[in-house]
Structure 1
Amino acid sequence: MSLSLSAAGAAVRVAGSISPRWGAAVALPMFGHVARPRPVGVAELPTMWSASRSTVRIPGLARAGADVVVYDWGHGDEVVVLVHGWNGRASQFAVLVRELVAEGYRVVAFDAPAHGDSGGRSTYLIDWTDVLAEVQCRHGRLRAVVGHSFGGLAGLVAGAGGLAAERVVTIAAPADADLLLAQFQGMLRYGDSTAAALRTRFAERYFPGESDPFARLSPVARPLPSGVSLLAVHDEADRVVPFGELARVAGANPGARLVTTRGYGHNRVLEADVVLDAVLEFVGESVAPASAVSTALSESAA
């Protein structure tokens, strides 16, 4: 554990020992804080340089407005939106961008607030779904939304909330927002009473008047509508989002197509040939699958 993380955990635990609500008050700003943006990889630079850039404005964490950088490649009416995860950025999809553009799709991606080239230091899940709604306003019905990790969770939440997309692809996605709170508690090692108070404080701060926003943010409680097809991908060696989340996503969406890989972990799975092939096939199908198809593919990393 880093010194900064250790100090943060100690601060929350000390405050929580006095009062769980005090502990939650100290923890809440940390929960939405994002580390400094990861750099664009050298191999990703040509793809990012070739993008058309624009911005969309969303309310943002403070509800004072936030500008989000959006990237656009290719042409045509069939739009595929790529959604990165927490501490990620759009450039992580560079290989998939090139593959989709080669197949004739228009591809859109963005850097969420506090990520990549977008400003800010804090964010939360609704920022992702707000950006997707703005992209929807620009392009109309979407061919597919492909989300990695936290971005996969956002795609599921947005799809359940009415985003007009024919298909959703999740790669290494958590099944609901509760996992994020549990992982945050595990990192900072504060007690259950502080955890319960943080959950309450989060709901009161960002969803005033809503009795249980976590139910709305749970793809387990609110699966995709029947007309939206789902491809869910996860690597058995994922050390960030447990592999068991795949079964939870699938359990809530019985018609999902499942792909498992072995040896790629949480991030390299985005460039695995087996995953790229599965995504291209799924996005390119002229008719959405009508019944459940479960495919287990194992491929070791080179």
Structure 2
Amino acid sequence: MKKALYFIFTKSVGLYINGMSYAFPEKANQLAYSIFSKPRKGKITLDKLPKTLTSATIEMVESDGEQYATYTWKGNDTVILLVHGWESNSARWKKTLPYLKETGSTIIAIDGPAHGLSSGTEFNIPKYAAAIDIVVKRHKVSFLIGHSFGGKTCLYYQSHYPNTTVKKVVTLGAPSEFNTILNNYTHLLRLNNRIVSGLVQKCVAVSKIELNQFTGANFATSLSTKGLVAHDVDDSIVAYKEGQAIAAAWKGAVFVQTNGLGHGLHDDALYNTIISFLFDLEK
């Protein structure tokens, strides 16, 4: 029943946008982009803050007129920044945090644009990276750990904001191809060619890069930062081959294949592998 309703809803939205494209093309293109870039979930409120985040010190940082929430668990001078993915928030690190805290490090998590306690209605990687840059510089971050789109944002950040304080980056289930995501969206709504063309132009204007170059693998090719790429063979959200492509393009990166963890990649052994990588511990 839910699948049938979802099909009817997406088809109706697509028909509406397609119809609008003939009389009001600019409004139709803007609506198509707004739906594409606006998360449907992931927002939280202070009065219903997830328990995981209540023990953190919450601060807001401003970037391009938007407010971004950060959560800090104070430790020593080694700072780890956690970067969540699409339709998520900093509470997604609930299972990871205990392992990172054992290292004695200062842990900071950030809510992406239009997620968690952060402001805005539009999510895009350049916005996310600009906010990350403020946190990295302010707190002299040593390590970045990003999940899903957060992982791709870390790659974008390191390739566009070279920063000597970041020594290592970990990506978990990160996507590489942007065109795949865009094509899935336009196919789901069955958008016509004039809308697809306008949507592509809008995405290029936002990213300032041609979409065939807006890939995790392309960002990784320019990195000298040490990296670990983890991806699960059973990931039903981001294909395993995308993780392989990022690792192949990233010179010297460690590739970790997992089995049965899906897209979430929550696992004691994997956490320990990440910590060993970050702190050069013997296995």
TM-score (norm 1): 0.80
User: Does the CA-based 8 Å contact 1:221-1:252 persist in structure 2?
Assistant: yes
Q: Structure 1 pair 103/189, CA: closer, same or farther in 2 (3 Å)?
A: same
- Which amino acid is the alignment partner of residue 282 of structure 1? F
Report the RMSD for the aligned CA atoms in angstroms. 2.7
Residue of structure 1 equivalent to 2:122: 122
- Partners of 1:219 and 1:5 lie apart in 2 by 28
How far off is 1:21 after superposition?
A: 6.6
- Which amino acid is the alignment partner of residue 284 of structure 1? F
User: Does the CA-based 8 Å contact 2:44-2:117 persist in structure 1?
Assistant: no
Task: Please give the per-residue CA displacement for 1:4-39, whole angstroms capped at 9, x wherever unaligned.
Answer: 433222223334577987753431111111113366
- Which amino acid is the alignment partner of residue 110 of structure 2? F
1:10 aligns with 2:15: yes
Residue of structure 1 equivalent to 2:149: 150
User: Does the CA-based 8 Å contact 1:16-1:190 persist in structure 2?
Assistant: no
Q: Structure 1 pair 191/242, CA: closer, same or farther in 2 (3 Å)?
A: farther
User: Does the CA-based 8 Å contact 1:35-1:121 persist in structure 2?
Assistant: no
- Which amino acid is the alignment partner of residue 90 of structure 1? S
Residue of structure 2 equivalent to 1:254: 251
- Partners of 1:254 and 1:150 lie apart in 2 by 21
Residue of structure 2 equivalent to 1:101: 101
- Partners of 2:278 and 2:78 lie apart in 1 by 10
Task: Please give the per-residue CA displacement for 1:149-192, whole angstroms capped at 9, x wherever unaligned.
Answer: 11011000001112421111111111143333123223222245
- Which amino acid is the alignment partner of residue 167 of structure 2? E
Task: Using the TM superposition, name which of 4-13 and 149-158 deviates more.
Answer: 4-13
Residue of structure 2 equivalent to 1:58: 63
Residue of structure 1 equivalent to 2:274: 279
Counterparts of 1:22-41 in structure 2, within 5 Å, are 24-37=29-42
How far off is 1:225 after superposition?
A: 4.2
- Which amino acid is the alignment partner of residue 71 of structure 1? Y
Q: Structure 1 pair 188/225, CA: closer, same or farther in 2 (3 Å)?
A: same
- 1:220 alignment partner, SS class: helix
1:221 aligns with 2:218: yes
- Which amino acid is the alignment partner of residue 203 of structure 1? V
Residue of structure 1 equivalent to 2:169: 168
How far off is 1:257 after superposition?
A: 0.8
How far off is 1:235 after superposition?
A: 1.2
Q: Structure 1 pair 186/244, CA: closer, same or farther in 2 (3 Å)?
A: farther
Task: Using the TM superposition, name which of 191-200 and 72-81 deviates more.
Answer: 191-200
- 1:265 alignment partner, SS class: coil
- Which amino acid is the alignment partner of residue 148 of structure 2? S
Q: Structure 1 pair 120/162, CA: closer, same or farther in 2 (3 Å)?
A: closer
TM-score (norm 2): 0.85
Residue of structure 1 equivalent to 2:179: 178
- Which amino acid is the alignment partner of residue 109 of structure 1? A
Residue of structure 2 equivalent to 1:132: 132
Residue of structure 1 equivalent to 2:74: 74
- Partners of 1:247 and 1:92 lie apart in 2 by 24
Q: Structure 1 pair 18/256, CA: closer, same or farther in 2 (3 Å)?
A: farther
How far off is 1:51 after superposition?
A: 0.5
User: Does the CA-based 8 Å contact 2:133-2:161 persist in structure 1?
Assistant: no
- Partners of 1:5 and 1:263 lie apart in 2 by 31
Of 259, 263, 271, which residue of structure 1 is paired with 2:260? 263
Residue of structure 1 equivalent to 2:202: 201
In the alignment, structure 2 segments of 5+ residues that lack a partner are none
User: Does the CA-based 8 Å contact 1:47-1:98 persist in structure 2?
Assistant: no
- 2:150 alignment partner, SS class: helix
- 2:145 alignment partner, SS class: strand
Q: Structure 1 pair 16/243, CA: closer, same or farther in 2 (3 Å)?
A: farther
How far off is 1:114 after superposition?
A: 1.6
User: Does the CA-based 8 Å contact 1:83-1:148 persist in structure 2?
Assistant: yes
- 1:98 alignment partner, SS class: helix
Q: Tell me the percent identity.
A: 24
How far off is 1:146 after superposition?
A: 0.6
